Amino acid sequence: MKIPAWCTSAALVAAASSAAAQDFRVPPYQGIYQPQGVDERGLWMEADEAERGLRDSDLVIRDQALNAYLREVLCRTVGEDRCNGVRIYIIRMPAFNASMTANGTMRVFSGLLLRVRNEAELASALAHEFAHFERRHVLTGFQRRRSASDLLMWTAVLSAVAGQPNYAYLPLVGGVFEFSRDQEREADILGLAYLKRSRYRPQCAADVWKRLMDEADASALGRAQRSQRYDRVPFFASHPTQQERAGYLSSLAGAEVADRTVNADTFAVVMRPWIAQFLDDQIRLNDFGGTEYLLAQLAGGTWTAELLHARGELYRSRGNPRDLVHAADFYRQSVALDPSRAEAYRGLGLALMRARVLDEGRAALVRYLSMQPDARDAPMIRALIDQPL
Amino acid sequence: MRTPTKLIALLFFVATPAAANRLIEANRSVEIADSALEVTPARDWNRLSARPGRSAETWTLDGDALNDVTFYAGIENDRPIFREVNRRNQPLPRFSSTMLLTDVPTLLENSYRVGRGVSVFAMDRVEPMRFGGQGGVRFHYSFTAGDEVRRRGEAVGAIVRGKLYLIAYEAPAIHYFDASVEDFRRLIASAMLR
């Protein structure tokens, strides 16, 4: 039950060329919208309830500067009038994800912020989510699923009466997932339309998907698994393949236009205070290959003390004897660049102790404790220094 | 036609004893998960029939959402501490017999992050502690899981003959943690590693 992606891609590129001729017209904005009909009112009520829950959630990152920045990027992308219909919540979850509910609640995962490289890429993700909201995809998706399940029930009854197997369920169930993929494509295309009207470089939308494929390959390699296929649509997929998305976004973005911006520098400044925490969340996921790929992407050839430290933590957490040697080396490079990094001395000491290089390990731990005598693990580290085995 | 159907259904239920939770009586020593770990509880506990993994079991006083003690007893080298949830896409971190005691808190934290989807987890004090007559580690932590309840945890662990022994007590930070933490401390004070 796999659908070759080239069918859909070809159709999209054909649609794209006609869309390109219209220069991505964005539908007129309705202003403040109130839900219509019982279905939509119900969905909004549920979304309102879930949003009230976010007020007290420990998972929401409430930092004002970071929240204001995301809002600014969204408003710059979709326009001031549109962005007023949306509340953004940054959720501390290390996966690449964002979502949009019917009532305008946009959730952006911290894992997405760790993986986009500049403001234009962030804008493309926010624009895609906003497009779901503007096209009221939650409502139409819900109605589609409901009518499919109604039909499914009737075909089951009829086939039972007729004493025949129910052959209708496969196209019905498949249709729901196909509809979901169509919604994603529609959101991709409308999202790109916002991006084209903004000052951001629209080609960035495709870059995100290309890197996600590379990261998934690196994860698979790190787990000694085969690479996934990116060109086939599994029957139950709710989203188009990453390869398809990268392909059509890239062709729809068209030729490079002058005076477009990606704002990589501003993005880096805003994200700097968050990188350490987001990386720490990522390192703890036991995904060596994917994390190593992410670190290399973040470094871009220039390994800072912070990234070297993170790399040391990654290798030390895998903990093979060869990993401990590399980890110790990364920690040493980290403290060479920034001798005030107490945590790197801790990592160095623990990597060496585990590798049974006791004297140097003890010295590094003593150094850590002299810098952070009140650390929360100080009593245990002291015990380790006194009696390492 | 009706009576035989009912009879068959009844026989089915009688013939398949439902897996049951069990009372653990006070002042009797109990072997944990067929391992070298033995405890003698000072009060009655309930042992849940659902076990988190092959070498683990869970005890509770008021239900596992309100307070639970999970024993990870005799985890071998290259084994996760509890059952894999999604081995292919989210494999759990594995215990290694070369780990230092400071790696034990990290192993628990990372297992929760991968296997239970916990993304808010804070490690607090980590200190040495004798456990079952061995040198061990005690650590304190807090986390928020999918039900959005803030929980606190306290755990002790030791690595003995290359195997990990870990006992973790967790309860909602509001009221329940403090209410039963002393019961847990008495329980670990009674632990023996044979």
The answer to whether A379 contacts B127, with C-beta atoms less than 8 Å apart, is yes
pTM: 0.88
* Residue A7 pLDDT: 40
Answer whether A328's CB lies under 8 Å from A363's CB.
no
Q: Any idea which of A10-19, A245-254, A255-264 has the lowest mean pLDDT?
A: A10-19
**What's the mean pLDDT in A239-246?**
85
Evaluate whether A303 touches A338 at the Cβ level (below 8 Å).
no
Q: Say if strands B22-24 and B45-47 run parallel, antiparallel, or are unpaired.
A: antiparallel
A256-272: average pLDDT: 91
Residues of B in contact with A379 (CB under 8 A): 125-128
B102/A94 touch (CB, cutoff 8 Å), yes or no? no
Measured between beta carbons, which residues in chain B are less than 8 angstroms from residue A286? 90-93, 110, 114
Cβ atoms < 10 Å from Cβ of A368: 25
Are A380 and B150 within 8 A, CB to CB? no
- Average pLDDT (A246-254) is 87
Q: Look at B125 and A319 and tell me if their CB atoms are within 8 Å.
A: no
- Over 90: is that where the pLDDT of A114 sits? yes
3-state per-residue secondary structure call for A249-273: HHHHHCCCCCCCECCHHHHHHHHHH
User: By C-alpha distance, which of A123, A95, A99, A111 is closest to A51?
Assistant: A99
Q: In 3D, which of B77, B74, B80, B45 has the Cα closest to residue B62?
A: B45
Please write the tens of the pLDDT for every residue from A79-110. Answer: 998 999 999 999 999 999 999 999 999 999 99
Q: What is the pLDDT of residues B155-164, one digit of tens each?
A: 999 999 999 9
DSSP bridge pairs for A153: none
Pull the structure tokens for residue B11.
């026989």
Q: Which residue of A has its CA nearest to B129?
A: A380
- What is the four-CA torsion angle of A295, A300, A301, A307, rounded to 10 degrees? -40
Q: What is the pLDDT of residues B68-118, one digit of tens each?
A: 999 999 999 999 999 999 998 899 999 999 999 999 999 999 999 999 999
Chain A residues touching chain B at CB-CB below 8 Å? 53, 56-59, 92-94, 223, 225, 281, 284-286, 317, 319, 350, 353-354, 376-377, 379-381, 383-384, 387
Q: Do A377 and B113 touch (CB under 8 A)?
A: no
Q: Residue B19: what pLDDT?
A: 62
> How far from each other are the two terminal CA atoms of chain A, in whole angstroms?
57
For tokens 């912020």, the residue is: A113
- Contact pairs from chain A to chain B, CB under 8 Å: 76
Q: Which two tokens stand for residue B69?
A: 């003690």
E strands present in chain B: 22-24, 30-31, 37-39, 45-47, 56-60, 68-75, 120-131, 134-144, 150-160, 163-172, 192-193
Interface probe with B: pick from A221, A286, A291, most Cβ of B within 10 Å: A286
Please report the ipTM that was assigned to this predicted complex. Answer: 0.89
